[in-house]
Amino acid sequence: MDAVVLCASSKYEQKFYMNPDFAGLPEDVKKELKAMCVLFTEDIGGILTLKFEKDGTLEMETQAYEEDLLYDEIGCDLKIRQLQETKKELFRSLELYYRVLFLQE
């Protein structure tokens, strides 16, 4: 099984995507994810994807178009570390949710 995308935000397309498989998440969690992802891409640029790895670990992946001179690579790493710290409880809860409902652990 490949990684499962939870949500993604793109500065280029000005869009946020939430995987419909996670429609059962509480509304406030979905709103928090949307705000976090959109603010990230507005600040840093590029595309941010939150995805669950095979073992249920939630990962944040970023990418940018090669010609995007405004993409902040250094800021990206700092912002990801900051989010991993400030959103630690949210991410743990999402991993638990995924492991119970999708991996049936």
Asked if residue 1 has pLDDT above 80, the reply is no
pLDDT for residue 85 is more than 70: yes
| Number of Cβ within a 10 Å radius of residue 28 | 8
pLDDT (0 to 100) of residue 74: 87
Contact 17, 9 (CB under 8 A): yes
34-84 tens-digit pLDDT: 999 999 999 999 999 999 999 999 999 999 998 888 888 888 999 999 999
Q: pLDDT per residue over 3-16, tens digit each?
A: 999 999 999 999 99
Residues 37 and 60: their CA atoms lie apart, in Å, by 10
Summarize the confidence of residues 1-30 as an average pLDDT.
Answer: 95
